[in-house]
Chains A and B, each alone.
Chain A
């Protein structure tokens, strides 16, 4: 399940138990996440799901489900594209 995977990535960064994270958790507020943690979250999600997250979209991630929805949308867009075009790694590297 997408949510579980995102929760695991998040839990890994802020070092808490993934089971404590809920879809409606406002993670930045609740866990006092720093900007650098958010950047890590973005990078790790991109690697895990092989997608591109645009930097100007990041400020819209408030609840865990916001990220999940975003990834879902990207994955369905990618499904329509030829393979390995998913994460355009040249973007941010």
Chain B
């Protein structure tokens, strides 16, 4: 360790430890926020259940998985109906936020998010296709992933200028590809009339259909995609120095971009497959974490996962208990103005 004897004017010696001093309390704070989101998310609704009873029900539900005991009354509501919805919210919120943070880092563009590059609208089109054609349940995320990868490839090739992806071109290409894909999705919805209600709710972002089966199908996508992105945190930090500098430090920049895009597409496709388009979470959460906790991706990505998961569960709670009805509407209605406020406040972002 660095000794203070080495640096008698020890004013600055607090600095190197600052990261380790502050990371854990902040992580703990966000974990508490996430836990509270889970408790309130499962407790509140048409039947209100006290937090203590929720924790008890969660425990009995977990135990019943091993003992095979029958769940009764409120335990059924908590374990079978509300908890999968909440867990899905955590998975989706975390995936979108980590992907947003990674996209912003890898393209060094504060406006990048899964939606801007056409990944999410591609996923939506793929998923809608699978729903309308009545493909097997587990194929929905696969179809979402395939179309997502195709659409992000189109966006990147449109935006590409030599080896670089200039922000304006990236945004323009993403907007165009996204619009085309959304139009195609709408056309599909209008054809598949008998499933129109499900598909329409889907395009507005809805956690309401989530059951344990959906959660278990999405989990590997979220874990794989986010896991890879978290491992790349230090390489992403290095990339912030600039492409040439990162390459001079031994980071193969093109390979890094490709892997981030694929990993983020996997996580986004999983997130979008069953719950649809949920806007602004992936854009805003990384900015909030960056403002509050710093820009290093080793902090940014994991904390974005925690905050994104918690915020989406709270947004869904608001959607269920208010006339806004769907979580995608809530995040867009609240997220849009919040982002504008952020833009005005931080001229630099």
Chain A complexes with chain B = no
A residues with CB within 8 A of B: none
